[in-house]
Chain A
Amino acid sequence: MQFAYNNLLKKYLLLILIIGIISLFFPAPTFAADSFTSKSKTASFIYNATGFPFSVQAVCYVGVYGGFYGHTLQIDEYDVSGAIVNAGSYLISMNMIHSNSKIYTGSTQKATYYNSDLTYFDILVPSNWQEWGDYGLKNPCNLFLNTTDTCQSVVSAWWRSDDAFPTEWTPTYTHIFWNGSWVN
């Protein structure tokens, strides 16, 4: 009886060990639904009417929504939005528009979304940011990524104002996620 019990215990222990080893190779997904991240950039411009500079800060949000299917991350929705603020607030009329988004795994480009590919949607922007941007959503995007790869979302924004030199600025933001978590 004791012998049979010990054997069973050994079997269970072996099974737990095997599961433990397997789980090392297949880490539990950590990617949360409604996962988004933001990055900001600051630039200076010369105000036409005075010849003196001022600063502008632009923030870019990227959201990835999907789920895990075994070893694959399926992204169903991709969204991008922008907000722009300057330190002096409302010095000039500003507008930041999404230009394009490129999604990579490592150095392999998996998808490119242009502004025309995105449908308008609204996003909650923290109250201390003035909303200026055009926002877009790609759905469905059916993007399958290997969760063990490092994935990047490279977003180019586009800014223009007639009141400043230079009139245009194209900030590029690189948002990185790995195994489902943002690394920013």
Chain B
Amino acid sequence: MKNIKKGPILIFIIGLLIIGGIAYISPNIIHASSKSFQLGKLIGQNIANENAEKIVMKVNNISVTQSELENLKVILQIENPNKQITDTEVESQIIAFNALYHESKIRGLEATKEDAKEYAKYMKQSLTDPVNAPDNSELILEYIDGTGQSVDQFFEKSTNAYQKMLSIANLRKSVYDEVANNLPEQIETNEKLLLQEEAFNKIKETVAKGAIVEHL
């Protein structure tokens, strides 16, 4: 019987195992290190906080929870890594957002709970739809994964958020339509868009400035 050297064979097998292991683990490492996963992780930590649902302020009597403020802060911070996002900046954005929602209610443009549920259902289905999924659905799925929730769990508590988002969308559309109706037909698209944005931003500024804010 020939004396086979076991050393090189053993090294070869170990090498194969290392390469195979790296190939197996690397997609998970990339996934876990993605910006959207990291964002989701930070959001997940905020949601898991025992004070997450604590109402910390009211804007025109609309409650704002601690996690809403903290979530916005982490999103802004991850988008602006070279800038320190202050609490004042976060607060002013939350005030403007809720003041716009309040304004949509005053103008009778509030989206219904059913609209919000329908939109949440559409978003949930579209993310996992093999044919109609958005091009970057992976980004959202990584984000949801980062929060430590399943897709179903993530969308379970989304109704209030979607109701506010869709109401503001209704308000924006109403303002844009109003501006367009008062412009001559031959106006250039870009100019029209600029005027529409200006009108909406003016309303945003006014309602944010006039909002009644209570810190609790």
Contacts and interface: CB of A to CB of B under 8 A. Distances in A.
Contacts of B127: 44, 53
A20 interface: no
Given A52-B165, A55-B126, A93 B76 contact: no
Majority DSSP secondary structure for residues of B touching A: helix
Interface residues of B, number: 46
B43 interface: yes
Interface in B142-200: 143, 158, 161-162, 164-166, 168-170, 172-173, 176, 188-190, 193, 197, 200
Interface string A44-59: 1011111111110000
Interface in B67-88: 68, 71-72, 75-76, 78-79
A144 to B, nearest CB: 32
B24 interface: no
A13 to B, nearest CB: 54
Interface string A31-70: 0000000000111101111111111000000000000000
Interface of B: 35-36, 39, 43, 68, 71-72, 75-76, 78-79, 93-94, 97, 119-120, 122-123, 126-127, 132, 134-137, 139-140, 143, 158, 161-162, 164-166, 168-170, 172-173, 176, 188-190, 193, 197, 200
Per CB-CB distance, the 3 closest pairs between chain A and chain B, nearest first, are A50-B161, A90-B172, A49-B97
Interface of A: 41-44, 46-55, 87-91, 93, 95, 120, 122, 131-135, 165-167, 169, 171
